[in-house]
A and B are shown apart, each in its own frame.
Chain A
Amino acid sequence: MYKYYESGFKSQALSIKDKFYNINFGYVFCIMLLAGIGVLCLYSAAGGKWMPWAWPQFVRFSIGFGLMLALTLVDIKYYLKFAYISYFLVLLLLIAVEVGGHVGMGAQRWIDLKIFKIQPSELMKITMVLMLAKYFHGCTLNKIESLRGLVAPALMALFPAALIILQPDLGTALMLMFTTMAIFFVVGVQWWKFALLGGGAAVLAPIAWQFLHDYQKNRVLTFLNPERDPLGAGYHIIQSKIALGSGGVFGKGFLNGTQSHLNFLPEKHTDFIFTMWSEEFGMMGGALVILLNLILIVYGYLFAFRVTSYFGKLVIIGLNTNYFLYVFINIAMVLGLLPVVGVPLPLISYGGTVMLSVMASFGIILCMDVNRNINLGRSSFGDD
């Protein structure tokens, strides 16, 4: 079925039709299934109504699906070409938000374009991956293993993360850092450097603690002991566990979740949507969502294995790890394994920005996979 092209020094562009045939439809099917579950959840969260969440979510998914296809069919060379530029553009947006946010009222995380809102921190997750992939694509292993070679990418990753922490959006910043570290890890940065970083973090943690906002400190303390404040900060996690546990193996039935529909469960349409789903469909439902996500994630890494170009591998690893972090942090959070950090469950939680951002990621991953046999030279940008 697949068409193979000789990887030579001269890469051959595929036709749209070829690219289309190269799309992994199993992967796309999983995405559609998860989004379908999301729409069902939002229908239930609104008490069995299409508004105010399920229908808009469906519309956004449709737009996101178009975006994904478009990004899949874009010529792979452009990702390499515009990797740095897009990174700096988004960095400028982040700075703009930071400055604007301070001028305006309170913390602002988005730029309002009237028709829709751009959250630069979401865009940064993608452009950061592209930027790092391009950087390491052009590096020798010697350079990667030297300290000198790591200074530039580390700074380029830390600066936007710091801006995002200041917003303050600890969850997104942490995801950005973990994604960065995953890329650093796969490109071959030595183990001892990670050990050193871990040791340094352990030493610096008490100092960093001082700089956390009170609500962030509360979240961490409450995570460590939810009973500390059962009506305040611990309320979310306690009610989430009650909702999940009471769902049992087969759940209470669609639209019958008592914890969700009697409003004991907060944020049931956003961060705690997995809880609501699991209350109504039990462990069977919960496991289904987790397994579909596992399939997506494993697909992603398998793409990374089979893609020829180093740049393509890194882009897939970065974006796929980012998606994995979304899923893992959200579900671990509602299961009481991680503090409540405000990370939504992609494809399922209500919210336009995350929907568009993950659909864009899937598009880029698919693009890398579709062009899996195209070799991009280390020093060249593919054309020469």
Chain B
Amino acid sequence: MNRDNDKGKVLLQRLSILTIGSILCVFLLIGRVYYLQVLQAEKYKMLADENRIATRMLIPPRGVIYDRNGEILASNEQNFQALIVAEQAANIDETLSKFKELMPLTPEEETKIREEIKAKRKFVPVKLKDNLTWEEVSKLQLNAPDMPGVIIDEGLNRSYPLGNYTAHFLGYVGAVSDTDLKDTDPLLMVPGFKIGKAGLEKFYESRLRGLGGNVKLEVNALGRVMQEIERSRGVEGENIYLTIDSRLQKVAQDAFGDNSGAAVVMDVHSGEILAFVSVPSFDPNLFTTGIGSKEWNELLTNPKKPLTNKAISGQYSPGSTFKIVVALAGLEAGVIRPDTQFNCTGVMQLGNHLFHCWRHSGHGPQNVVEALKNSCDIFFYQVAMELGIEKIAAMARRLGLGEKTGITLDHEREGLIPDEAWKLKRFGTKWQKGESVIAGIGQGYVLVTPLQLATMLSRVVNGGYEVSPTFQKLNLKEKDKIRKLAISKNNIDIVKRGMFEVVNGEHGTAMGARFNINGMKMGGKTGTTQVRRISLQERRSGIIKDEDLPWNLRNHALFVGFAPYENPRYAVAVVVEHGSSGSGVAAPIASKILQEALKLDIK
């Protein structure tokens, strides 16, 4: 019985220990609660917010691009798309088949949609079809009760109202690629964000883009949006006005018909580009709405290369249009004077080589104005021979040839103005006198782009001001900054006179293109350049007529022109690839363009 008392005592002892132990354990819990909810509260508050708040970027509307008169060249168009939200659809199969009755889907499209529905969470919308027309939208909305789960959403698509008229200078926008990611703007990470990929869309990207806004959303663990917490609007992209006159642009491009080539119209005093044509062109809207592989292949394989910007990437022998440069160089160097005459017999011998004039019977005695008017080759052979290539090259470069104009577009080429050093470096041989002779009529190594030709002509007819082509209007300060080249006004007037005679003189090479609008007339210079070598044998047996050759072997046709003659405002350079004849094909196009420019009296 004694031990029974002990049994009770032991129990009380042990029970005390157990009680105290339990109390200590509970205090451990309170300590832990204090640690988490007081000492670590800030850290966990942040983590909780990270959990529940999702920040989404808002894409700002991209800046609109206008022409000089305020007509829209590039804007943002509402894009309606049909989406399906799986959890709202009572039966996905029924909804889809009803949708298909209204808007046919290809089997590939349908499998893609079904896979996406399966892969994504039930409340995430999946795209059924986009770029819906108004008609399609209303048709879908009318039938909405039969298609639970189908919703219509609107986004913004870049649109180019003038389509292929503006493709070559505006460029286009496209999805962000890895190479664009040097740019650290978080907007680029937003799915569906489009970035300027080419042309002015690319050059003005930073101004057009604007600043992304963002919206803070409360989301649950599955990512479903519960409510909007706050929204910052961001900044819309800047609108940009170009120097292009869309009316002139259309006339200029249409003037080419089915031809392949390029034309640039410039304001001679500022260098502002009024029209910028490269044909054939393409419709940049195809890139936004999705281009089919067939259409894409057609663009790639078309022999007239619609994707190439010929106005800056096309390099052509300037041919006789280069005589403007040679004449001015000769006059400036004192090699010829206004009354200096050379007698054209149709052929000139240098060493044991014969150089022919395009007119085999010869032009007889010619001064510089007559030689320009008739495009006499012999006269310019002589001038070039006496000048030497270095002086020709120097004048050509002063007038903007042989180097990039700095126009704000990708893929501009330099062209080529050869000189002795270049030849030595390129071929390791000395410059030959005969090569200067050939260069004197713009053949041989000389290469120019249509944009360079327009720049060259502008610099000549504006009295020797060093204008550069631009798509942005110049302010007064910028206009004052344009340097004057040290070229005598008299010499410029003589060359201009020659160009007047080309168009308006009796038997001038471009007399067919002449016009007279209220006394305003055009001056200019034709050029026709061979794209094939004529063999000695062919020369003997008679040169094959151009129209008998396949298209891609025919001569290029060039014309540079300006108007009005008395007080020049507009300069145009036209190149028609394989157009056969500068006077017959290129000059009429230039004439049409300048007449339109004069009629529009562009402000």
Contact = CB atoms under 8 A, between A and B. Distances in A.
A146 interface: no
Contacts of B38: 248-249, 283
Given A141-B7, A262-B218, A294 B26 contact: yes
B37 A290 contact: no
Interface in B20-76: 22-23, 25-26, 28-30, 32-34, 36-38, 40-41, 43-45, 47-49, 51-52
A335 B6 contact: no
B532 interface: no
B189 interface: no
Contact of B12 (A294, A305, A337): A305
A359 B390 CA distance: 110
Contact of A313 (B15, B17, B33): B15
Interface in A255-304: 258-259, 261-264, 278, 282-283, 286-287, 290-291, 293-294, 297-298, 301, 304
Contact of A244 (B23, B37, B51): B37
B32 A337 contact: yes
Nearest to A261: B220
B22 A297 contact: yes
A221 interface: no
B19 interface: yes
Nearest to B22: A324
Interface of B is mostly: helix
A304 B15 contact: yes
A244 B44 contact: yes
Nearest to B46: A246
A159 B36 CA distance: 40
A321 B10 contact: no
B37 A187 contact: no
Interface in B479-517: none
A258 B29 contact: no
Given A188-B14, A332-B29, A245 B22 contact: no
Contacts of A140: 3-4, 7
B11 A188 contact: yes
Nearest to A286: B33
Contacts of A264: 48, 51-52, 220-221
Contacts of A185: 14, 17-18
Given A248-B38, A286-B33, A328-B29, A262 B220 contact: yes
Contact of A310 (B11, B22, B23, B43): B11
A304 B33 CA distance: 29
A268 B541 CA distance: 100
A263 B220 contact: yes
A326 to B, nearest CB: 12
A141 B38 CA distance: 49
A365 to B, nearest CB: 14
Contacts of B40: 245
B15 A301 contact: yes
Contact of B10 (A141, A239, A242, A297): A141
A248 B7 contact: no
A293 B48 CA distance: 28
A304 to B, nearest CB: 6
A350 to B, nearest CB: 20
Contact of B37 (A142, A239, A248): A248
Given A187-B11, A283-B37, A301-B22, A331 B29 contact: yes
Contact of A335 (B12, B29, B49, B51): B29
B266 to A, nearest CB: 62
A293 B11 contact: no
Interface string B246-272: 000000000000000000000000000
Nearest to A140: B3
A247 B38 CA distance: 9
A74 interface: no
A67 interface: no
A317 interface: yes
A158 B32 CA distance: 33
Given A186-B14, A188-B11, A247 B4 contact: no
A243 interface: yes
B33 A248 contact: no
Contacts of B221: 262-264
A294 B7 CA distance: 28
Contacts of B354: none
A182 interface: yes
A174 interface: no
Given A294-B23, A328-B25, A258 B14 contact: no
B142 interface: no
B144 interface: no
Given A287-B33, A328-B29, A335-B32, A259 B48 contact: yes
B226 interface: yes
A249 B4 contact: no
Nearest to A284: B37
Contacts of A188: 7, 10-11, 14
B8 interface: yes
A310 B7 CA distance: 9
A293 B29 CA distance: 12
A317 B29 contact: no
A321 B18 contact: yes
A187 B7 CA distance: 7
A327 B36 CA distance: 18
Contacts of B26: 290, 293-294, 297, 327-328
A376 B22 CA distance: 28
B581 to A, nearest CB: 74
Interface centre among B38, B43, B44 (most CB of A within 10 A): B44
B22 A290 contact: no
A336 B38 CA distance: 16
Contacts of B89: none
Interface centre among B6, B33, B38, B47 (most CB of A within 10 A): B33
Interface string B373-391: 0000000000000000000
A241 interface: yes
B34 to A, nearest CB: 7
Interface of A: 140-142, 144, 182, 185-188, 239, 241-249, 258-259, 261-264, 278, 282-283, 286-287, 290-291, 293-294, 297-298, 301, 304-305, 310, 313, 317, 321, 324, 327-328, 331-332, 335-337, 378
Given A248-B41, A261-B220, 20 more contacts: A140-B3, A141-B6, A185-B18, A187-B10, A245-B45, A258-B218, A259-B51, A262-B221, A264-B52, A283-B34, A286-B33, A287-B33, A290-B30, A293-B26, A297-B22, A301-B22, A305-B15, A324-B22, A328-B22, A378-B4
6 contacts: A187-B11, A245-B44, A248-B41, A262-B226, A310-B8, A321-B18
**Top 8 nearest A-B pairs by Cβ distance?**
A245-B44, A246-B48, A188-B10, A262-B220, A283-B37, A263-B221, A301-B19, A186-B14
